[in-house]
Structure 1
Amino acid sequence: MVPRPRNKANKGLPINLYFDQRRGTFRYRRPTDGKWFQFGADRGKAIDAAHQLNTTFLRGSDLVALVLDEKSVTLSSFLATYEQDILPPRELAKATLDLYTVRFKQMRATLGEHPLEQITIRMIAEFLEPLTARSSNQARAILIDVFNHAAAKGLCPDNPAANTIPKIEKKQRKRHTVEGLKAIRSKAPLWLQNAIDLALITAQRRGDILNMRFEDIKDGFLYVVQSKTEKASDAGWLKIKITEQLNAALARCRDDILSPYLVHRRPERKKEREGKDHWTKVDERFLTRAFKDARDAAGCYSGWKEEEMPGFHEIRAMSLHLYKRAGKDGQRIAGHATENMTRNYQKDHAEVVWSEVEADLDIGEFAG
């Protein structure tokens, strides 16, 4: 017989735990004999206690599963299924998939060997506690989705991750100053200087800067398909007019290294790596480390805490600020919504309508 669905007051609660609307309290029904126990009005404590009790009463479930020829699915095992079957159709950007990989590694190390149905709120809360607010909330959001899919397949009775509370994220990283970014650029290798210049002039994200190719320069324009938005929206099909400033930056990208990418470098060892289609390509993590090294060498932002130090990502905010200060429209070049982008969405990219923008920010105070 299919069990009767839980009413609205009991939705989101572990099995055997119920909310008494009349008294405003929670009560637990012992599954062995149906006896009721009052758990008070504290929802968090009631849920945590119910999970612990359910785990205790289900300790023999592994023996039952053996008789029924069933096997419990561990979190590690289900994460493999999640990666293989659930993530690919979402067509996530590489940077997002890299983030999932990092979080999955953390989850497997701490919770991976536990059967899904035995993972409690407390176990997840203890896993999230030592993480920073941003990392914790990222991991929590992923776990909520993972357990939603697991519950839909009948692999666990509820979603313990959904009952944890997200941390409050306080933005700690500060903005670049003109003097600070100039100092960092002066200590950067040439390839990183090129990346900084392109970021300032085009106001594009780190990944899009690193994906720019020489073949994208056509008929006086630099064509950019923003990787973060090309699948989800149409704020990413840009046709950037090559102005005098941008042309000078592009010229600095041409050197004696034969590479398809505007931003490139000669590594110490020429070696093809997974995820790189050319040995000269710079990946995002290497760029982040190189920028930090240049920032440390510059000695700027002294007195700031490590978590306050701006990285390469904050150059985009600096660019938009400088465009605004110069009385120019930096929003469109950043890839924000326009009528043409809406038309792209309606046509499902069958006929892409490129949004033409002009990169005319004077970065002479940085590049000389």
Structure 2
Amino acid sequence: MSPRPRSKGNKGLPQNLYLDSRRGTYRYRRPTDGKWFQFGSDRLKAIDAAKQLNLVFMQGADLVASVMQNGTSAQADLFEAFLDVYEKEILPPRELAKGTLDLYAVRFRQFRKAFTGKGIDQITIRMVAELLDSLTPRAANQARALLIDIFNHAAAKGLCPDNPAASTMPKIEKKQRKRHTIDGLRAIREKSPLWLKNAIDLALITAQRRTDILDMKFEDVRDGYLYVVQQKTAKASDAAWIRFKVTPELQEVISHCRDNVPSPYLIHRRPERKKQKQAEQKEHWTKIEERYLTRAFKDARDAAGCYGGWSDEEQPGFHEIRALSLHLYKKAGKDGQKIAGHASEEMTKNYQRDHAEVVWSDAIPDLDISEICR
């Protein structure tokens, strides 16, 4: 006989835990004799305690389940095993950007280390909370969102009764990084190798993200335009397709990107010989990885010493060039919305047509960056 459906007030609570709506407190009903125990008003503590008690009282049920599995290995219900399934079967159809997958890979390593040898139905709120508390607020919120999705899929397959990650609280992220100054970015650029100078100039003139800057190719420049498909928003926004008019300002930057290195990418470099094997595993041996760009920019910033009075957390990175670019466009009285790729009404046609006929958002990158790039 199946158990009665839980009332609205008790939905989302583990078995045997109930909310006393009149008092706003929780109470636990011991399944062996029906005796009640008051658990107070702290929801997270009550859920955590109830789950731990349920594991003890349901040990017999675990033995029955092991027999009903007809000899299949209990390893199938381990968190690590389900995480493999999540990576191989659930993520691929989403067609996530490489940068997102790289970030997920970092989180997956943290998850495997924290929950090694644990059954997916044995992971408690406290276990998840301890993992999140060990991370920075931004990393914790990223990990929490990913864990919520993982446990949602596991619960949908009947592998766990509820979602322990969803019961944790998100962290408050305080933005610590400051914005670039014109003098600061100029000093960084002077300490940068040629390819990084080109990347800085391209970021200033187009206000694009790191991923999109590194993905720009010479073949994307045609018919007087530079065509860019923003990786972060291509599947989630209607403003991901931008057509930059090749203005004299943009043409000058593109021309500086051409050199004697045979590369399809505007931003490229010839790797050191000792890393040639690693380079061959990339899309192209001259392509620059996002992490390498971040490190190179940091090295140039440290060498410039332009933000000496700021803490490490306040030091602006390559990404903050985008903010400076949009600020300068606004200061010059120009339209920064289309430059940035922010949503516009006309671009809804891309979704109405299912991208069969892509409608490009025109942008005019005509910012005078000579003050920084002189």
TM-score (norm 1): 0.96
* Matching residue of 2:240: 236
* Matching residue of 1:64: 64
C-alpha distance in structure 2 between counterparts of 1:126 and 1:56, whole Å: 22
Could you say what secondary structure the match of 2:141 adopts?
A: helix
Query: Match for 1:363 among 354, 369, 372?
Result: 369
Q: Deviation at 1:33?
A: 2.4
Q: Deviation at 1:18?
A: 0.5
After TM superposition, the structure 1 = structure 2 runs for residues 157-306 of structure 1, keeping only pairs within 5 Å, are 157-269=161-273, 270-271=276-277, 273=279, 276-306=282-312
Q: Deviation at 1:233?
A: 2.1
- Equivalences, count: 368
Could you say what secondary structure the match of 1:255 adopts?
A: coil
Query: Match for 2:112 among 90, 93, 108?
Result: 108
Could you say what secondary structure the match of 1:31 adopts?
A: coil
Aligned 8 A contact 1:340 1:354 in 2: no
Q: Aligned partner of 1:211: which letter?
A: D
Gaps of 5+ in 1: none
TM-score (norm 2): 0.95
* Matching residue of 1:46: 46
C-alpha distance in structure 2 between counterparts of 1:36 and 1:301, whole Å: 61
Query: Match for 1:330 among 328, 336, 344?
Result: 336
C-alpha distance in structure 1 between counterparts of 2:286 and 2:2, whole Å: 59
C-alpha distance in structure 2 between counterparts of 1:101 and 1:339, whole Å: 36
* Matching residue of 2:4: 4
Superposed CA offset, 1:282-340 (max 9, x none): 01111001101111111111121111111000000000000011111111111112233
Bigger shift: residues 157-166 or 259-268: 157-166
* Matching residue of 1:15: 15
Could you say what secondary structure the match of 1:271 adopts?
A: helix
Aligned 8 A contact 1:79 1:146 in 2: yes
Query: Match for 1:82 among 64, 79, 86?
Result: 86
C-alpha distance in structure 2 between counterparts of 1:251 and 1:221, whole Å: 14
Q: Deviation at 1:99?
A: 1.2
Q: Aligned partner of 2:78: which letter?
A: T
C-alpha distance in structure 1 between counterparts of 2:173 and 2:149, whole Å: 20
Could you say what secondary structure the match of 2:242 adopts?
A: strand
Could you say what secondary structure the match of 1:207 adopts?
A: helix
Superposed CA offset, 1:251-297 (max 9, x none): 11001100000000011132355872100000111100110111111
Could you say what secondary structure the match of 2:15 adopts?
A: coil
Could you say what secondary structure the match of 1:223 adopts?
A: strand
Could you say what secondary structure the match of 2:197 adopts?
A: helix
Superposed CA offset, 1:146-184 (max 9, x none): 111111111011111111111111111111111111111
Percentage of identical aligned residues: 70
Q: Aligned partner of 1:54: which letter?
A: N
C-alpha distance in structure 2 between counterparts of 1:335 and 1:83, whole Å: 30
Superposed CA offset, 1:114-157 (max 9, x none): 00111111111111111000000110111111111111111011
